[in-house]
Structure 1
């Protein structure tokens, strides 16, 4: 099994186009030791066959930076056998429109995500005028399933405590299936990955899978619960919009200490998060805890 991080930032990427916070302005000026990042998306696969997990608005640039996803076996070709969405957020779905050429997309989502992408943000209706999609239902019940073309991988989905998009009818009344985490295991090696870029709380069903995982790739959006409020760019706390901050009691750093044998990596990092500055005290804290920060192009083979 192989994991390739196509994009590691939260919505807007890093630097964000209209932001002049310390991180964004420092990266542009060359005064900050940090890496530019595109919006979060990963590829999980075996051999030449891959599942694209989330299709970010930056997907075309991400595909150009990952030539193995274009094996060129025919006039029009791709190594992507399916697209899987963990939620219906704009930064995880807009890229579907960039993949409109060619055959219908095998698309795996929960019923809730399909509903949101057919009504509040009708991307799937637009796609029907182009390549269309072949929908496969994900049941977030922890039971194993298989994606066609990748027989060596076993997938499980689990419902997360997080938030649906602002345009969703479930925005203020979350339903199981609005957001999911994925547990993927290799039948050959027995090794496994838990992936959840939007994670507001580690509930028992999530903890059970994280305990089993060899690699944990989870929500790194915000350092502190009031990060956006302190900067004056939002009135909402991290937990209000479905993200567990890294610092503070019950934060992600404390939570990840329960899984010492796993390789622990943060993804979906917001442009305001001080951990993007590789010389910051916050980044040094993560280093001391043995927690990594994902970057575009990070590859892991299990």
Structure 2
């Protein structure tokens, strides 16, 4: 915990039980007195890929408190506000669970309501978020060519079984699949060029993937529009990828996928993606822990 102009700022990592793994996020549980400029300043000072700010909580009705705690939440990268962030959602949910106890929450995001359940499993807290309704869209050939040029990835290095698409589950991500783990590991892209394309296409990250098995994937997420070279663990992109995999028939309508992310950055994390045949929404879950200091 630290103080920034009187604001209590917590630090959590999401998608790893090790503070040195996963994706760190700042969490402000009471941001009701902060405007957008102040929230952006906090996020920029922290330097994490995103931070979460709870700007309000629903009030109990006349018949008593609501069954589910609801909060209005906003997310900021060091450069801009983003509509939805999965790892900061997990971080905020874990912070609330440590303060108030596990249970069900709803975060009111600019992308729509995102239910979250926090449960204690084997001594660890685990948060599961449910995305907004997803979409999967084609990408224009010229836009894909520009993305590959910015990445310096030859088209022949892609996996033809996982064609590029734009996927959305609260934020837009371009999914591009590498044919080999070596291709995924060799990431050295043109920051400004990719940033310009992502702004034009309204993309939050690129979801770069390599398929290890039928349900296990390794992923990396360049995030230049947020002022960060790479996001260590990306819950929003994991949800979008789950929708992508289902829409393209890569996995059954009911499936559990495991995404490994952050290994190439030295911050390994694990994201679990659950698909259900009776619900178009995607569930993403993971552990997390407090970062002291």
Task: Assess same fold via TM > 0.5.
Answer: no
Q: As a proportion of its length, which structure holds more strand?
A: 2
TM-score under structure 1 length normalisation:
0.26
